[in-house]
C-alpha cells in the first residue's frame, strides 16, 4: 500500500513539474506559427549568441538593449548596448525607438529578456530578437561601466 501511495505521489509531482516546464517554453507564449527551427515567425525571434553576434555585425541599425538592472549592467554588458531595465518597459513605446526598428534584447539568462520581448511585441514592435541564454552564454567581448 505504501509503495502504491509513493508511486502515485511521484507521478503527481512529475505531472506538476512537466506542466510548468511546458508552459514556460518561450516559443509557446507568443502568437505566430512555429517554424521547424523552433522559432516563431512574425515579430519574435529567439536567437543564439552566435546568431545574435552575426546579426549585429551584419546590421548595425539593430538596437541592442540590456534589460537587467543598472548594477548588473555596470558589472558587465555587451558593448554598444543600451540599458532599459525590464521593469521600466511598460505600455509606452520606448523613447526614440520606432516600432519598425529591429530590437535585440538580452538579460542574464534569458527570462527577463523574454518578458521584455513579449511587452515590446504587445506595444507593436515588429522585429524583436531575444538572445537565448542571455549574457551568461555570451562568449564574445563584454565591458564594464555604468550606462551612459
Say how far apart CA 134 and CA 129 lie, in whole Å. Answer: 12
Q: Which residues pair with 63 in a beta bridge?
A: 103
Q: Is 107 a catalytic residue?
A: yes
At 82, which helix (H) or strand (E)?
strand 82-83
Say how far apart CA 99 and CA 38 lie, in whole Å. Answer: 24
63, 64, 107, 121: the catalytic one is 107
Which residue in the block uniquely carries the three cell numbers 502515485?
Answer: 8
Other beta carbons less than 10 A from residue 69's beta carbon: 16
Say how far apart CA 27 and CA 24 lie, in whole Å. Answer: 9
Say how far apart CA 17 and CA 31 lie, in whole Å. Answer: 24
| Catalytic sites, residue numbers | 107
Amino acid at each position: 500500500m505504501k509503495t502504491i501511495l509513493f508511486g502515485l505521489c511521484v507521478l503527481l509531482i512529475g505531472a506538476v513539474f512537466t506542466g510548468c516546464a511546458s508552459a514556460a517554453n518561450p516559443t509557446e507564449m507568443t502568437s505566430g506559427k512555429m517554424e521547424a527551427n523552433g522559432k516563431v515567425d512574425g515579430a519574435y525571434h529567439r536567437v543564439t549568441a552566435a546568431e545574435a553576434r552575426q546579426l549585429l555585425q551584419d546590421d548595425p541599425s539593430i538596437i541592442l538593449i540590456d534589460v537587467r538592472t543598472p548594477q548588473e549592467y555596470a558589472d558587465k554588458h555587451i558593448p554598444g548596448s543600451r540599458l532599459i531595465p525590464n521593469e521600466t518597459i511598460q505600455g509606452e513605446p520606448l523613447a526614440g525607438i520606432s516600432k519598425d526598428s529591429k530590437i535585440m534584447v538580452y538579460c542574464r539568462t534569458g527570462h527577463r529578456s523574454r518578458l521584455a520581448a513579449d511587452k515590446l511585441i504587445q506595444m507593436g514592435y515588429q522585429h524583436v530578437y531575444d538572445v537565448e541564454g542571455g549574457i551568461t552564454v555570451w562568449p564574445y567581448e563584454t565591458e564594464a561601466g555604468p550606462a551612459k
